[in-house]
Every structure is written in structure tokens, then in C-alpha cells.
Structure 1
């Protein structure tokens, strides 16, 4: 019998990353785009962990299938870790350009431009078995966008030890050591134990 797991996202890039990482595991990976009756989820948690748990529980309970959900965002030290859980809606509803502009404007007179990209992944089965992992990449916010501006804050974030922003990297370069990738590696290490729990 094929084992199915739902990635709680319709984001093609994110789902592709999960499929790649789970390719050696004997599971059929689906996304929310594969289902018609996806429930509305109010991600009203105060932390990445709370939001990921809310999403995972809602989808697992609705479809009665194992689910992997995550919540990610940028935390800038000088801005009290903003935008944090509000990363996607920092300056409005999923307006990436406005979000980036708001971060740069708030950092205008700051000398500390250190930041962390964070991902919390929560895997949950209908029986309540839960696995949570975290991945982080530390770095700096550059003075102006560098590279593609297609996705979030990538063109503003220079990972420590690298000479390219996430926005200047190829998909493969970024996936090699991304915050989600780091959390996924930890998830894979415990996947079998969670799956059989």
C-alpha cells in the first residue's frame, strides 16, 4: 500500500524542495494543490512553531492523512526579530517588494544588520504522532537588493560565509544549505520513527 504524505502548501518551489528531499523515502508526496476541499486555516500563532502546528493539525484532521507543515520567516536582530511570523504580510498581504522596502527603511540608521532565516517544520499524523524540527541560517541584510527579487527577502539576505545573497544563488545552491533544508535533514533523520509511531 502506498504511503501518502501531504505537504501543507500550494507553493510550487516549496513542494518541489520537499519532494526532492523525500525522494529516497517510500512515500507518495502530495500538496494542497492536489485537493479540492482544503479548509481555511487561520495561522494566528505567536511563533513559527505555533503556526506550523495549527496548519499540520488542521490538514491532518481534515484529510486523515499524515501531513508536513512549516512556517518560515526572517528575523532581524536590530528590529526585535521582526518581521518574524509576519514576514509574508509585513507591509501588506504578500507584497514582497513592499516587505523588503519596509525592512530596508527600518534599518536605515542601524549598524547591526545581522539576521536569521528560520524554519520550523511540524509533521503530524491523524493519530496525533508529532515530530518538530528547526532549521536556521544566520546572515546579514545587505544595503540594497541583489539578485532576483522573485521570492520574499532572498535578495536582501547574505548568509554568513557566502558571497552571494539567496537571491543571487541558483535554486540548487540555495537548497544545498537553506533554513528549510537544514530542518528537513533533521526531519529525515527521524522520519521512520515518526512514521511508525
Structure 2
């Protein structure tokens, strides 16, 4: 089995990558498999900068091809926030529930037609001694007024997917993994995956 290393310690993301790559014949390893490696500080101001930073740093240490993603929620009424700060929007401890509560509080006077948002994802593939590649995907939606559903992670319970007429957290993984921002970025990557590996 071919090995693919994902630069993440987020168990929710790790699970999604396994579900997407194992059927293609890849064994997925994450930073949870390399406990000696420290987290890469995300100092970029865009998803692309952060994704490349993580992938290239880990690739340089391991001297292997490393994939990283940086993703988040961009809400139009909040001028694109939480954006690159999505994971730690309510504080450094990265608490999904607190992050959602903060967003709902900030939007409480915003009418439903103005609650448009999108999940964005940039994947970076760092290849030793080559230029890194990036792939981007987005999923459009609306921020709901309350949490719904038990699937997924992050902001999924407050993100309404119009085409599915459900919250992202109400969609089973096989549906989410077809329509999500991460899925769309991975579909682009799949077109080049044979060349990369």
C-alpha cells in the first residue's frame, strides 16, 4: 500500500482523509503517528500560506511527500471571519462548541438572508526538492440560528447546506465526503495523484 502523510493532529480531519484516500489504495498516516513532531505554528494570513507552511515544514523533517490542508469558515456578514482563525476563534484551546457559540452570538441580529457563508479548504502537497502544489475547494451555505446534527466536527452543526437542505452535521460521512470543501479540493488532487506519487 502506498503511504500518504497528512500534516494534521485533528482526529476529525484525519478520519475524513482516511475515508477519502483508503479506497484509492493509500495508507494514511497523520502527525498522530509521529508524536515526536511538534505542531507547526500557523503564522500565515491565508489558507494557502498555512497549508504550505505545515506541509513543507513536515516534508523537510521527514524527507517525504506530505499533504496538509488549512480550512475554515468564512461568513460574509462578519467580513470573512473566522477565516484562518476558525479552529481557535473563541480561544487558543480550540473548542468547537465555544467557536460555534461565538459565531451565533455575533450573528444574532443578522437576518437569515444575510447569513451566507462558505467552508474553504486549501490542500498543499510538499514534495522534497520540488515546488509545492496547491488545490482549493469551497462549499457554499448559510449559518443557521441553532445547532443541528451529530456528524462531522467544527462548525458543521450550524452550517446549512442549501443543496442538501440539511445542516452539514446531519449529513452522513459518505454524503459529506462528496460535497464538502475538502472533498472538492481532494477531487482536484486526485486528477494529479498518480503523477505526484
Task: Give TM-score scaled by structure 2 length.
Answer: 0.91
Contact kept, 8 Å, 2:123 with 2:134, in 1: the verdict is yes
Match of 1:131 among 133, 158, 164: 133
**Do the aligned residues in 1 keep the contact of 2:12 with 2:153 (CA within 8 Å)?**
no
Could you tell me which runs of 5 or more consecutive residues in structure 1 were left unpaired when the two chains were aligned. Answer: none
Match of 2:84 in 1: 85
From the superposition, tell whether residues 91 and 55 of structure 1 become closer, same or farther in structure 2 (CA, over 3 Å).
same
Q: Distance in 2 between matches of 1:146 and 1:17?
A: 20
Distance 1:174 1:150 in 2: 8
Correspondence 1:107 to 2:114 = no
Q: Deviations over 1:2-45 (max 9, x none)?
A: 64331111233322322333235454432112123213311111
1:67: how far off? 0.2
Structure 2 unaligned segments of length 5 or more: list them. Answer: none
> Which moved further from structure 2: 102-111 or 112-121?
102-111
For 1:94 and 1:110, the matched residues in 2 are separated by 25
| 2:192 corresponds to 1:190 | yes
- Cα distance in 2 for partners of 1:91, 1:114 equals 20
8 Å CA contact retained: 2:151, 2:171: no
- Alpha-carbon offset, residue 145 of structure 1: 0.9
CA distance in 1 between counterparts of 2:50 and 2:71 reads 9
Equivalent-residue separation in structure 1 for 2:101 and 2:108 (angstroms): 11
CA shift for structure 1 position 152: 1.2
SS of equivalent to 1:23? helix
